[in-house]
Amino acid sequence: MTKLSVNINKIATLRNARGGNIPDVLKAAIDCQRFGAQGITVHPRPDERHIRYKDVYDIKDSITTEFNIEGYPSEKFIGLVLYVCPRQVTLVPDSPDALTSNAGWDTIKNKSFLQDVISRFKEKKIRVSIFIDTNTDNIFHAKETGADRVELYTEPYASIFPEDKEKAIAPFIKAADAANKAGLGLNAGHDLNLDNLKYFKDHIPGLIEVSIGHALIADALYFGLENTIQMYLRKLK
């Protein structure tokens, strides 16, 4: 079964809109685990507009499943990850003002930089995943950075899926094949939802984990958090 890691950033976005501590990010993380999620993902950004660095420190001791911290590897971010020592860090090439992740790494251009960063995480035995698009050259070169996994950026799949499922999935099948041949573990995330998740999972060989936040939290407004997590888990069986 492909594992589900719940990104709780949107819980923090709602809290930050009003101030105070409602909803409680720590409680949300604990509840997501209790309701069946096999991982918790957070993505602290420089402006802390959703998950704050303090949140990551506050919840780290309560994560009993896999803790995945994702973000751009600035020195501040690297320091956070090295202190917390999550099971996995996912490196994303976001600019500081990016609204959301919208591209994968150019692992050829940034290979030396990524090698240096990844080696620091490896010293702490932290598994490293690289956010990446379906360009197979970038996937093969990702292996040379020292990464353990790649996370496929699935927004293009989600955008095309309603009109043409086969066209949407085709480049991701090729990318998955490249990752498997390169000996890289395979994760995926961005705009996956209850409509497109099962088709993606059924057609991508070796898919280990998906990270889902925005759609899952939005669905929870209608279905409740526990029920929603179970709905997503059923799509992954």
Residues forming the active site: 43, 70, 190
What contacts 20, CB < 8 A, 6 or more positions away?
none
d(Cα 205, Cα 208) in Å, to the nearest integer?
9
Q: Rounded to 5 degrees, what are φ and ψ at 184?
A: -105, 135
Phi, psi at 210, each rounded to 5°: -120, 145
Quickly list H helices, the chain.
Answer: 9-18, 25-34, 53-59, 75-84, 111-123, 136-144, 155-160, 165-182, 197-203, 214-223, 225-236
